[in-house]
Amino acid sequence: METVVSGIRSTGKLHLGNYYGAIQNFVKMQHEYNCYFFIADLHSLTTHPTSADLHGNVKQVLVEYLAAGIDPEKATIYVQSDVPEIAELYLYLNMNAYLGELERSTSFKDKVRAHPDNVNAGLLTYPVLMAADIMIHKATKVPVGKDQEQHLEMARTFANRFNRLYNKDYFPEPYAFNFSANLVKIPGLDGKGKMGKSEGEANAVYLSDPPEVIRKKVMRAVTDSGPTAENQEKPVEIQNLFELMKVVSPAGTYAHFDLLYNTCQIRYGDLKKQLAEDMIVAAAPIRERIKEIDQDSSYLRQVARHGAIKARESASKTIREVREIIGFRSF
């Protein structure tokens, strides 16, 4: 059976982008593959969280994974820092990761632009740690959103380079995966790029947002003054709202508003009201389960411990073999 690995950074609440870009696939894949889903708390250290925030954020993602339907009996759910073998593999891979290729990564360049005062080495080698996450279980499929595509390409480079260096066909090539074939990019509500945690609270709709918050955010989304000619191309902020509708609403609803737009009869207020209600319906069951699971500390402890044991079984096997291949042998 093929092995699947994916993770989400522990930097706060999960939003619809995380859900439709990644988690929805996790939930489907757990029935068909050998799945490892983790909480990337080592990755979140690039932004220097306080220890209280770090722990709270890890808990939040764990709760939301379970609430979204990841089943710890089917998939292995674990916290990245509970598996020290990942950090060890990261060290080995760093020896064969080159400054030029790391500096060319789009996400690194974006981070440098956004936070020029915090360009740390962890940020530069972020794709190497991500490759270690995947390679530690020798995974071939990685369910992620479109923004992670380049990181997967780098992971393939590191896997192939290791194999070449040691002249051994050890690590398989990992590929980004989505059940719909195309990788997903969920837009935000600010009329610009993707929905994201670092793009500001109002840009993202969170799985834990109560209905009134979702309504308020959607009603405030950026729009223009409306189409002036039939079948006019939609400007990006309007296209974004339609993209969101495509994800959360029934096909008939999308077609209805698309026709209104194309015949210049659209009222954005109506479109937003409908979009907000459909988002509320999509998030409601998850939100209810988040509230329940959040209270259950003993269940969360049990899931995290059980997951760490299972993940370390697989990770320690890989590290044992990698050490042997590299040439670390005991006397």
Does residue number 176 form part of the binding site for ligand TYM (CB under 6 A)?
no
Q: Show the site string, 42-61: x = touches ligand TYM by CB under 6 A, - = not.
A: -x------------------
Q: What is the DSSP letter of 228?
A: S
Does residue number 105 form part of the binding site for ligand TYM (CB under 6 A)?
no
Among 184, 214, 245, 315, which residue sits at the site for ligand TYM (rule: CB under 6 A)? Answer: 184
- Count Cβ neighbours within 10 Å for each residue of 31-61 and write b for 16 or more, e otherwise: eebbbbbbbbbbbbbbbebeeeebeebbbbb
| Rounded Cα–Cα distance for residues 244 and 218 (Å) | 11
| Rounded Cα–Cα distance for residues 104 and 40 (Å) | 23
Active-site annotation holds for 138: no
Stretch of 7-15, 109-117, 212-220, 308-316 contacting ligand TYM, by CB under 6 A: 7-15
Active-site annotation holds for 197: yes
Among 35, 39, 40, 245, which residue sits at the site for ligand TYM (rule: CB under 6 A)? Answer: 40
194 SS3 class: strand
Among 145, 191, 227, 307, which residue sits at the site for ligand TYM (rule: CB under 6 A)? Answer: 145
Active-site annotation holds for 28: no
Q: What is the DSSP letter of 21?
A: I
Beta carbons within 8 Å of 216's beta carbon, 6+ residues apart: none
Among 12, 21, 191, 307, which residue sits at the site for ligand TYM (rule: CB under 6 A)? Answer: 21
| Rounded Cα–Cα distance for residues 137 and 5 (Å) | 7
Name the residue with the smallest CB distance to ligand TYM.
Answer: 21
The residue from 13, 141, 194, 272 that is catalytic is 194
8 SS3 class: strand
Which residues of the chain form contacts with ligand TYM (CB under 6 A)?
5-9, 17-18, 21-22, 40, 43, 130, 133-134, 142, 144-145, 147-148, 184-186, 194-196
